[in-house]
Structure 1
Amino acid sequence: MIKELKKLKSAPSSLNINQLLIPVSVFDITQKGAKDFNKIYLWVKSQNLNKIVRTKSGAIKTGAKCRLPAWDVRTNRYCVEMTVIMEGRAWRIQFRTKPPEGMSGRKAFSEFKKLLLKDGIDLEKYAIENGEEVKKDIEKPLIGAARKWMYDVLYEGVNHIDFHSSYPAGLANTHPEFRKTLEEIYKKRNEENMCKNILNFSIGFMQSLGGCSARWAHLSRDAIKDNNNRVRELAKRLDKSGRLVISFNTDGIWYRGPVYHGKGEGEKMGDWHNDRINCQFRMKSDGAYEFIENGIYYPVIRGIANDVKNDWQWGDIYTEKAKLQLFTFDEKEGISLNGEKVV
């Protein structure tokens, strides 16, 4: 066994192994992360192990159908996950964006379940079996310009509205029995990282096929739809008031005109507030825009970390600096960067 695999977190293996009890090691979406992941992937691939047999929900089939040693690789838009069972140990190894230290969507969701249970709500009773089908009906996040001609246009006097913990608020609006627990979590979000992580990660995890077989996808669907409806409704009010809605960013709105005040403004979960005032604003694409507020420049590029952009200046989102690193996976080569093998 190569040392790179041996040093990763693992669990004892058996014919009755539980996928959820295997610890996860994450390699970040960087060139180094890709290189380290590939070294393990290509070595494991060369070992000619059995293929892990899975249930429809994604669990590892146990008993007689569990032929060890074994492995497999599963992918989605956000993650490549390799599961390896050999030499008495089991590993789950992922190539994806690293969560905050000590945190994962699963952990945040598990803590949320515990807090709900204290309030008399057993989330297991909400689980569904057709999560994969329900997931297909989930609305996409509202991201991008309000109208196609608004890209590459420089706007002055632009403000931004942000909704407070809007997805959790959407869950509370559509399933009121969760409101008490969620509001308590929201109140503690600035003092306790776990509370902040529950608000940020739980809704997304509910629809994760790899994480929980999307067994709570209907709750995620309801929360996201409610958020989108509230954002659209506020955008209509902005339009009617004479402001110009320029773009959406999930639970926020960029608009030009006098600072808007109105119904729903406040500091509670699901309320909105103006968090950027009187900015210069320009949008290159759905995931790329830049703005200046009080003389300070802020470039926003999905997929490029903030620390990489510390020395950027106005217009850099249109230069080579903003070129995204596109990582892809195929079974033969592993992770590639912009079509080139990473070694």
Structure 2
Amino acid sequence: MKITQVEAIPFAIPYRKPLRFASGEVHVAEHVLVRVTTDDGVVGVAEAPPRPFTYGETQASIVAVIDSIFAPEVVGLDVVEREQIHARLSRTVGNPTARSALDMAIWDALGQSLGYSVTDLLGGYTDRMRVSHMLGFDEPAAMVAEAERMHDTYGITTFKVKVGRHPFTLDTAVVRALREGLGDAVELYVDGNRGWSASESARAMKEMADLGLTFAEELCPADDVLGRRWLVAQLDVPFIADESVVTPAELTREILGGSATAASIKTARTGFTTSRRVHHLAEGLGIELVMGNQIDGQLGSLCSVAFGSAFELTSRRAGELSNFLDMTDDLLAEPLEIHAGELVARSGPGLGALIDPDKLAHFRQD
């Protein structure tokens, strides 16, 4: 089961509408398909979504670092040598989604070689997760209409609302409109992507205190150390650290420093190996976890549900698993389907992801 080849294939698929949030906006999924081939003919796959405004990576940088640095480090190793692979990839700083996609493709190859699903290899707690849908910036009526469509069509009852624009004239009005339009049967939580200050966040959360929010996520920057601690100390809902906790060490710092009380795991930035470390650390610290979304395509969402359903802690809450619905197409030969508000992890060996060769040929950029 030795790795013989690593490929990084850039592709681009437009979104039906742009997803807008405080730290940027996305019109096209300019991602990278990572393929790992072993000497017994197994091919593992995963998806790297660059987010230059969050982690500094681009499509070109992901291809470059995988081709020139990561591939030479892992070719020749056995897919069971996961700690050796992790150690070699960790020598290079940054590049989180490039490293994570390679890690997950290797896990996919391992599962296929052994005849087990990745979910079962990781923990096998369940085979599905409830779905949370992420609502990007728009006018209140349009965001309510999108949420109603997701609820009526897919049975989704949890919504993450992007805020971080104008806290007292638009953001709080959007959340209020959603609560009034959807009623109390749905869960709502807000994500500021660091767009508000600590004082704006405190005032906005007080104005929304009657709306029954489940979480607040990254309302203000973690670099505003004292302001964020001051904010978190007065909130009566868990405060999720997201882009501020890319590594287990950062999670430890934010939780023990009082700057967060929960965390988001995104397999797109921590793969399966580091995500497992983050999960176990969160268990030890006694904090809640949610499975986040890196505006993943279907392959990335399949990775998220494979990990999230593997553990009891990550499967408690709805995971952000639906934003692939905003893409005009995808690479999977068998598309993902959300039913009754749930997404099911595939039970076949590995991730159960088969890439459609015609679609890949159409959308690849090289």
Give the structure-2-normalised TM-score: 0.26
**Which structure: greater helix fraction?**
2
Which one has more relative contact order, counting CA pairs under 8 Å at least 6 apart? 2
Task: Indicate the structure (1 or 2) with the bigger Cα radius of gyration.
Answer: 1
TM-score, length-scaled by structure 1:
0.28
